[in-house]
Amino acid sequence: MNIILITLSGIIGSGKTSLTTLLADRLGTKPFFEPVDDNPVLPLFYKGNEIAAEKRAAGDQNTTNPYAYLLQTFFLNRRFAMIKQAMQNDNNILDRSIYEDEIFMRMNTDMGNATKVEYDIYKSLLNNMLEELPYAAHKKAPDLMIMIDVSYETMVKRIKKRGREYEQIENDASLVDYYQTLLSYYDRWKDEYDASPLLIIDGDQYDFMNNAADQQTVLQSIYDELFNLGSIQLSQYQQLSNQLKEG
């Protein structure tokens, strides 16, 4: 197989980890997963959002989340290290990448959770990292970015199913607005993204995690795209497609 790098994007609960696992198995590539359980900042960030929302509701419109900048710097550092490692090896898939990192910092700044100064410093750091990628790795960009596009209802259902307490809207009412706002930023991001070819998967229409027919449709669309881009050869494309037909 040719040397390929695939990155996935999508909102919380869209199915990135599941699709990464599935693709890595089918393509014989190594999956890279963003660590979540060992993130010491994430629970603090969610609690900070809740406190900031309560203070704004009480009239303090200048309240920020003190953990927003810290969280995004934490994520940015990890994503940079992860994509460098993936790009230095052959045939890898990342369940999230540095290319969608700015979504969260931009949104948190617009929502008042981070300051303009924090955003400017973060953006400068991100730009420096992206400029260094071609020198730190074999590739300038992924061969393909796959975005799993889902609605608010699908996202919340999947978040509930995986059961992380700090992500549940039942435990924090401010998450309803946060998640809906995040969806709108992802809509904007998919129109702006230009670092590599982008394939959008309809995560509402195709339940590739639980429905075999949907899984086959999604995988075939990815194989089609990789072949059209020249990332896999004809013989590899035919082999992958035949495996799908054989189940």
Q: Which residues have a catalytic role annotated?
A: 95
Three-class SS of residue 31? Answer: strand
161 assigned ligand-binding residue: yes
Rounded to 5 degrees, φ, ψ at 168 are -85, 130
13 assigned ligand-binding residue: yes
18 assigned ligand-binding residue: yes
- Nearest in space to 218 (alpha carbons), one of 205, 237, 232, 234: 205
One-letter amino acid for residue 89 of the chain: N
4 assigned ligand-binding residue: no
17 assigned ligand-binding residue: yes
10 assigned ligand-binding residue: yes
46 assigned ligand-binding residue: yes
Q: How many CB atoms lie within 10 A of CB 135?
A: 7
* Joined tokens for residue 141: 């960009």
167 assigned ligand-binding residue: yes
Angle at 114 between CA 113 and CA 116, to 5 degrees: 140
Is the alpha carbon torsion for 75, 35, 171, 44 positive or negative?
A: negative
CA distance 206 to 137: 34
Concatenating the DSSP letter of every residue in 145-208 gives EEEEE--HHHHHHHHHHHT-GGG-TTT-THHHHHHHHHHHHHHHHHHH--SS-EEEEETTT--T
103 assigned ligand-binding residue: no
72 assigned ligand-binding residue: yes
37 assigned ligand-binding residue: no
159 assigned ligand-binding residue: yes
CA distances from 166 to 150, 173, 183, 217, 223 (A): 21, 11, 18, 33, 36
* Joined tokens for residue 42: 């994430």
101 assigned ligand-binding residue: yes
Extract the annotated binding site for substrate: 34, 46, 72, 96, 101, 167
Extract the annotated binding site: 10-18, 34, 46, 72, 96, 101, 158-162, 167
Extract the annotated binding site for ATP: 10-18, 158-162
